[in-house]
Copies of this chain bind each other. A is one copy, B any other.
Amino acid sequence: MNTYGKNFRFSIFGESHGYCIGCTIDGLPAGFAPDFDFVSRELKRRSPGAYIGSTSRRERDEYKVISGMYNGRTTGMPLTVIFPNNDVDSSPYINNIARPGHADFAAYRKYHGYNDPRGGGAFSGRLTAALVFAGAIAKQLLSKCGIEVISHVASIGNITDSKFDPVMKEIPDLDPAFPLVDNSLRSEFDAMLTSVREARDSIGGTVEAAAVNIPVGVGEPYFRGFESCLASILYSIPGVHGVEFGAGFAFSGMRGSEANDQYLYGGNTSTNNSGGINGGISNGMPIIFRVAFRPVPTVFTEQSMLDLETSEPILAAAKGRHDACILPRGCVIVECATAICIYDLLLQTKLN
Contacts and interface: CB of A to CB of B under 8 A. Distances in A.
A51 interface: no
A281 B106 contact: yes
Greatest chain B CB density within 10 A among A7, A30, A311 is at A30
A301 B158 CA distance: 38
Contacts of A336: none
Contact of A255 (B18, B113, B228, B295): B295
B3 A11 contact: yes
Given A295-B259, A313-B263, A313-B265, A115 B352 contact: no
A261 interface: yes
Given A220-B1, A257-B201, A15 B283 contact: no
A101 B261 contact: yes
A111 B245 contact: no
A66 B100 contact: no
A283 B233 contact: no
A331 B269 CA distance: 30
A144 interface: no
Interface stretch (A38-46, A75-83, A166-174): A75-83
11 contacts: A75-B111, A75-B121, A101-B278, A106-B217, A106-B281, A110-B352, A201-B256, A206-B249, A231-B235, A256-B295, A273-B294
Of all A-B residue pairs in the complex, the 8 with the closest CB atoms, nearest first, are: A103-B279, A242-B244, A202-B256, A110-B217, A256-B295, A262-B304, A30-B111, A1-B224
